[in-house]
Chains A and B, each alone.
Chain A
Amino acid sequence: MVRWVAAVAVITLTAGCSLLVGQEPAQRTVTLVAHDSFVVDPRLLAEFEQRSGIHVEVRTSGDAGELANKLVLSKAAPLGDVAYGVDSTFASRTLREGVFAPYRAADADQGPHRYAQDRQNRLTAVDVADVCVNIDTEWFAAHRMPEPATLRDLTEPRYRGLTAVPDPTTSSPGLAFLLGTVAAFGDPGWQQYWRELAANDVKLSSGWEEVYNQDFSAAAEHGPRPIVLSYASSPAAEVGDDGKPRTKALLDTCYRQVEYAGVLAGAKDPQGAGQLVDFLLSREFQRQAPEQMYVYPAVDGVPLPPNWSASAPLPPRPAELPASEVERNRDRWVQQWRTLVRG
């Protein structure tokens, strides 16, 4: 009798605990660890779950840099089976630390191979997000001024006091912009460029949020500056009621960030993890990625949403730096930038 009571008590208590923790489905679960910006069309995910019999649990973990560092710190007991969102700025660090296991995705040779980081295929490119200077086209029309086109233009006296960018030490697009200037002007040529940019009264803020929402004249709060750093895809979000974009990305100022997915070393279900990586490269996922996450598909031949070809085309010649070079020099460049611009 006592044993029965004890058994019932234990069962009730465990049921109580699982209620608290949330009902875990009995089926196979694969956990995807992603950065904060990961969004997927819920119907598409449900279809994948139905087809594969795998329940996908998504856990987000900060921005790209934070995610990479968390993966490194927890590599002995990984947070999940698959990670998505480590980008080309932080890829080397995770590879050096052995965070990912080799996995060759079915469609890896359909475009993602161009961004491969190592021969073991530990990271598979899922999408690209180009950081570019954006301008308020209406502002330039209203002020009868020619639009700037290149990074060099931003140091011209006529664009003095018109540009706002996020701080590379506190913002990941800001860091991408710094890397873009290194790619464009070389090392140490970028330092002279930044001296001129600072002399031309560039406004620095701690994050993209302040730059875009508060400084940018084309955003909701009508800031004072018509030139800001954002993404190639941002104009797609700023289409007016007439269907025309109010802003434009300057395609000659872009720096490419590739976002990767990979199977985590020590994953509980490596096979299911592989299936999930394949899903991220599937045409269905790739096709909805632009509208959901403001990124461009990595797989070839996936059409962009209709209004994107006019408002937010993929930059044809973005600047890039090899991930290993970034890993080697990042901290030094950031430190030099700080001394140079902040004094």
Chain B
Amino acid sequence: MSPHNRLAVPAAASVVLGFLGLFFAWPVAAIIGMGLHGNVGEVLAEASTWRLVAFTLGQAAASTAVALIAGVPLAYVLARSLIPGRAVLRAVVTVPFVLPTIVVGMAFRALFDVDSGAVLPIVLANAFFNVAVVARTVSGLWSHLDRRAEDAARSLGASKLRAFTSVTLPALLPALGSAAAVVFLFCATSFGVVLVLGGGQYRTLETEIYLRTVQLLDLPGAAALSLLQLAAVVTALLAASFARRRRETALRLRSAAGTARRPQGAQWLVVGAAGLVVCGLLAPIAGLLVRSVSTRDGWGLAGYRALLGTGQQGTLEVTGLEAGLNSVRTAVDATWMALLLGLLASFVLVAVRRRALAESLDVVLMVPLGVSAVTVGFGYLITLHLLPGDLRTSPLLVPFAQALVVTPLVIRMVLPVLRSIDDRLRQAAATLGAGPWRVHREVDVPLAARSVLGAAGFGFVVALGEFGATSFLARPDAPTLPVAIGRLLGRPGELNTQMAYAACTLLMIVTVLAVVLVERLRIRTDAVEEF
């Protein structure tokens, strides 16, 4: 450990762990602790509990597999093929991630004509949300991979497929593992999708924790299930980190500009597969757009005009546009917090040389993704008044909670790139007389800048669409767009429904704009890298 790291690493670690401890570990431990006074063992002994566990893990694994299969061709196109409209593609792929779950649930429900719940729509809807995670995480590393190793394999006679499976795929494994872990966690804890599409018939640990906490106030039951969920999540994370072990080796990373080429021959098949995935993603999106302009008397823009107002007979306290602005403001706050925490955490994870310590830290940082928003929200109720200023009802709580969700994503997107940077580059820079900060600036920053910007953009978009934690914490006078949509759909009246779908469109537009803006910034950083 270099001298400056001896101070900086513990400082960075304590900032990250302090935040996590205060706004995650303490509230969660407190609410679970309250439940532990009851008869937890009884719940654990029930056969139905274990059926819940099996269904939760099964549907999450299936959804993750579908998301991986659909996401890898997209990642290839985004990272490697020089075809026009990649920025638009990146934006389109990201849109599903921000759509409110209730809306996507309803779209899939209409698509499959679900009656009393079915498994396939749950799996597909979960995958629909998470294709973006796979495409973005994997393409982030892929676009930096040095093509020469692959080219060398080809020139030695390997087929394209062989070169891919023996050279590229192993190099991509850390990113694939990261994406799989994140997607698995999202799917294992997806709430709205299971509630809407499972129709009460199919339940997961997450929906059951919600039910027992929010409706029944059965804290012992909820605590037992939360502990089970936590155990499952930690197991999954350990498995993922085991799979990544020794995979995150130093790779020859290149500036992304030179690695994309025009697809040739069989590569067009992959592009075609990616095209099919995009069509699959666009179908529900198009459905929402159509619904936002259909009225009882044919086509109309009443829903969009209604965005300037507060809904039929004042359903909302603010106009749709104000809700949109709230979303943007909150997401900006959540993004800088998450970037700060995520980058500090990544810095610590790279600097910690003891593998076991780094891995357990990594798992700890991911756990917030796997814990029910209800558990965190109810935990806040019984803890945060003990902090000065009764934060339980502070508007700051929404960005805090969103940052908890976004930080692990930032880490998962930046860490594979940082870890893959050949340490000899840093050593070389140091040998040439660069101080520790200069080494970071000259080596790590240029190579990671694109991933960081990508993570920022994705994080912003995730915060924009976050519903679980936000709906627990948002104040009525400052709802975010997803919260407003949920509220509009909860009232009778045609105008409310139309306005809800128009608001979805607004959310998609903001998302696309944000992603395209980040793309522009990334291109500019590329130009800087050239020098």
Name A residues whose Cβ lies closer than 8 Å to a Cβ of B.
17, 20-22, 31, 34, 36-39, 41-42, 58-60, 62, 65-66, 69-70, 72-74, 77, 79, 93, 167, 169-170, 203-210, 212-214, 219-221, 230-231, 234, 237-238, 291-292, 294, 331, 342
Of residues 304 to 323 in B, which have CB atoms within 8 Å of A's CB atoms? 312-315, 317
| Contact B199–A206 (Cβ < 8 Å) | yes
26 contacting pairs across A/B (C-beta < 8 A) = A20-B396, A21-B394, A21-B396, A31-B393, A39-B314, A39-B317, A59-B393, A60-B476, A62-B214, A70-B381, A73-B382, A74-B381, A77-B390, A79-B393, A93-B217, A167-B199, A203-B115, A206-B199, A209-B490, A212-B492, A213-B489, A213-B497, A219-B492, A221-B291, A234-B492, A292-B313
Of residues 457 to 504 in B, which have CB atoms within 8 Å of A's CB atoms? 472, 475-477, 487, 489-494, 496-498
B198 touches which of A206, A209, A234 (Cβ 8 Å): A206
| Contact A74–B382 (Cβ < 8 Å) | yes
A59 touches which of B200, B201, B382, B476 (Cβ 8 Å): B476
| Contact B314–A292 (Cβ < 8 Å) | yes
Could you tell me how many residues of chain B have their Cβ less than 8 Å away from some Cβ of chain A?
A: 52
Who on chain A is nearest to B296 by CB? A220
A39-B315 contact, Cβ under 8 Å, with A206-B195, A220-B296: yes
| Contact A170–B317 (Cβ < 8 Å) | no
Of residues 115 to 170 in B, which have CB atoms within 8 Å of A's CB atoms? 115-116
Q: Tell me if B392 counts as interface (CB < 8 A to partner A).
A: yes
Q: Tell me if B215 counts as interface (CB < 8 A to partner A).
A: yes
Name B residues whose Cβ lies closer than 8 Å to a Cβ of A.
102, 106, 109-110, 115-116, 195-196, 198-201, 207, 211, 213-217, 291, 295-296, 312-315, 317, 378, 381-382, 385, 389-390, 392-396, 472, 475-477, 487, 489-494, 496-498
CB distance from B334 to the nearest CB of A (A): 14
A65 touches which of B109, B195, B215, B382 (Cβ 8 Å): B215
A214-B491 contact, Cβ under 8 Å, with A38-B476, A59-B475: no
A219-B497 contact, Cβ under 8 Å, with A66-B214, A294-B491, A342-B201: yes
A65-B214 contact, Cβ under 8 Å, with A59-B476, A219-B497, A237-B312: yes
Who on chain B is nearest to A37 by CB? B490
In the complex, what residues of A have CB within 8 A of residue B214's CB? 62, 65-66, 69
Q: How far is the CA of A27 from the CA of B497 in the complex (A)?
A: 39
In the complex, what residues of A have CB within 8 A of residue B216's CB? 331
In the complex, what residues of B have CB within 8 A of residue A291's CB? 313
CB distance from A36 to the nearest CB of B (A): 7
CB distance from B492 to the nearest CB of A (A): 4
| Contact B492–A167 (Cβ < 8 Å) | no
In the complex, what residues of A have CB within 8 A of residue B315's CB? 39
Q: A210-B196, A214-B106, A237-B493 are in contact. List 6 more A-B contacts (CB 8 A).
A: A69-B214, A167-B200, A204-B116, A209-B102, A221-B497, A292-B313
